[in-house]
Amino acid sequence: MSFSTLSLRPEILGAITDLGYHEPTEVQSQVIPAALAGKNLIVQSNTGSGKTAAFCIPALNSIDEKKRVPQILILEPTRELASQTRDEVFNLSRHMRMGSLAVYGGSPIWKQKEGLKAGPQVIIATPGRLMDLMERGWIDLDNVTTLILDEVDQMMDMGFAPAVTEIWEGLKGLKQVLTFSATYTPAITRLVDSHMKGETESLILSKAVTVDSIDHVFMRVGIRDKYPVLKRILERFPEDKVMVFTAKKHETEELERYLYRDGHKAAYIHGDMQQRDRMRALKDFKDGVVRIFIGTDVAARGLNMNAIDLVVNYHVPEDPEAYIHRIGRTGRANASGQAVMFVAR
Ligand code: AMP
């Protein structure tokens, strides 16, 4: 299949070419035609499957550029995901005459109020900040026709169910809803089913399985030996982009200090950091200023990072899903990768 066989606006096809996407991924080839046909969709798909473009492309295709009001609302669980999705929207709409805005906590709300005055057609938001804007009467969502809920399982984990419900119920002009999640628990299914109106299709595009191109290695390591073993691995693969997952916030900082002492520059991210510092850490890693990125899995989950060669699980994750999310970072979009897990004796 080729993107040109989908009935898309030429401006969007041009942007897809600019991005170097030659053909749709599996998720895209299923989601785009169904969404263009106006159906509601409940999609089960893994991270790294190209799902962001899968929902952005049909959503952008439906925009009325002359109406300078929000028409598409995308909800994301975290600010990083909101910001990454906004980047994808921005890139895909570069040849259109329209605007998009990401609104999330940790950034000044007055700035977002100013941004809204420009009349963006696409809003990408975290539920908490969006509720805040709605309660202040600073955002008008009456013209929103498409609602996209991304990473629903993570939004539920983070306690956003009431906010998502309230936002969904408040959208009076809604015509289409697309939901994306790696898993659909009974709670998610209940929430989604009770709000969906009209024809709805379920697309199961992945079981929660890991990607084939990743080699998994388990290492039995004594607690005191973890750091020296990590150091040896880093020295053995001096060119590799490495992501290290720790269980606790203080460990990210501690590891960064040890590594710095030993001549390895690393960036880290955890939930108690200022947004500015989190963004800087991400940028340093993405730009290659540092090749080592340390994070707690809560803070780093779902981040869109390509070309990671090695994932080190400094701890055994608490549940299998967290493990898949972690290693889902290597082996994305045709790249192969390795995952090492330290199992303490
Ligand atoms: P996502 O699952 O949305 O996080 O996407 C994972 C990565 O795949 C992103 O870096 C996208 O830029 C990339 N991507 C999305 N669609 C395509 C495509 N059709 N061809 C190649 N890469 C893609």
Inter-axis angle of helices 51-61 and 79-92, nearest 10: 50
Please report which confidence band the pLDDT of residue 206 belongs to, taking 50, 70 and 90 as the band edges: low
- Å from CA of 202 to ligand 1 middle: 21
284-335 pLDDT per residue, tens = 988 889 999 999 876 666 666 667 788 888 876 666 566 556 555 554 444 4
User: What is the average pLDDT score of the chain?
Assistant: 87
- The phi, psi pair for 132, rounded to 5°, reads -60, -45
* Ligand 1 atom with minimal separation from the 306 CA: 10
CB 54, CB 21: distance < 8 Å = no
336's torsion region: left (phi>0), alpha (psi -120 to 50) or beta?
Answer: beta
28-40 pLDDT per residue, tens = 999 999 999 999 9
What is the residue with the minimal CA distance to atom 5 of ligand 1?
A: 50
Among 3, 25, 28, 87, say which to mutate for ligand 1: greatest number of ligand atoms within 8 Å of CB: 25
CA gap 343, 314 in Å, rounded = 8
Among 85, 90, 304, 308, say which to mutate for ligand 1: greatest number of ligand atoms within 8 Å of CB: 304
Contacts for 51 with CB less than 8 Å, ≥ 6 apart: 27, 31, 43, 45, 150, 180
CB 19, CB 91: distance < 8 Å = yes
* Ligand 1 atom with minimal separation from the 24 CA: 19
For residue 90, give the nearest of 66, 117, 127, 56 by alpha carbon. 56
The residue type of 290 is: V
* Lowest-pLDDT choice from 109-113, 307-311, 336-340: 336-340
What is the residue with the minimal CA distance to atom 12 of ligand 1?
A: 50
What is the residue with the minimal CA distance to atom 8 of ligand 1?
A: 50
146-165 pLDDT per residue, tens = 999 999 988 998 889 999 99
Please report which confidence band the pLDDT of residue 46 belongs to, taking 50, 70 and 90 as the band edges: confident
What is the residue with the minimal CA distance to atom 13 of ligand 1?
A: 50
Please report which confidence band the pLDDT of residue 232 belongs to, taking 50, 70 and 90 as the band edges: confident
- Å from CA of 53 to ligand 1 middle: 7
* Ligand 1 atom with minimal separation from the 28 CA: 19
262 half-sphere exposure, CB direction, 13 A CA radius: 15
- Å from CA of 137 to ligand 1 middle: 36
- In angstroms, how far is CA 141 from the centroid of its own chain? 23
The residue type of 166 is: E
Ligand 1 site: residues with CB under 6 angstroms?
21, 24-25, 28, 47-53, 304, 306, 332-333
What is the residue with the minimal CA distance to atom 20 of ligand 1?
A: 21
